[in-house]
Amino acid sequence: MNINTIQDLRAANPERIRKQFSVVLGRTQQELNGMSCIELDGAGTARQQIMVSRSFGTSVTSIADLAESVAYFTTRAAEKLRHDGSVAASVCVSLHTNPFREDEPQYQRSLVVPLSQPSDDTTKLIGAALTGLKAIYRSGFHYKKTGVMLMDYSPRQQFKPPCLTTLSSRQSRTA
């Protein structure tokens, strides 16, 4: 069989392709000819969470530097959250030393901070992440990595924020 180009594969006899090669190549040929036969995994599946984390080029010891990275990671995660049209009900912040530096003391912790109500507001999400960072930070360690995960996802349309005014405050304004 003389197949040198994609066009040659498209034009080849489908029965000969399956017999001489494999079912997979036969399906590929069908796809090339416009017949859908390979399912796309995960297409349209909604996210469960958003994680943003990075390792530092050098060790970091100060909480101010860690807070800066946590705030940046939270901002990036919040952008993705809003792009998806979702809100998160909790923020998980994590902190790690370098596990390959056995000569240094090791420490790794994470903490989930629940929000009072689901949100996509960057300021609220950063506040929760920094609260978590302050709770898990320990001085005296050389940190290599931080991360932020937005969790307990739901579509923004499903979330109904509470009214800002109560019935009694509305009644006092009308009196």
Question: And the tokens for 66?
Answer: 């860690």
Residue 166 has pLDDT above 60, yes or no: no
Distances (CA, A) of 101 to 55, 60, 93, 127: 14, 14, 22, 31
Q: What is the mean pLDDT of residues 133-159?
A: 91
Which pTM value belongs to this model?
A: 0.67
DSSP class per residue in 71-92: HHHHHHHHHHHHHTTEEEEEEE
C-alpha 30/C-alpha 32 separation (Å) is 5
**pLDDT of 22:** 82
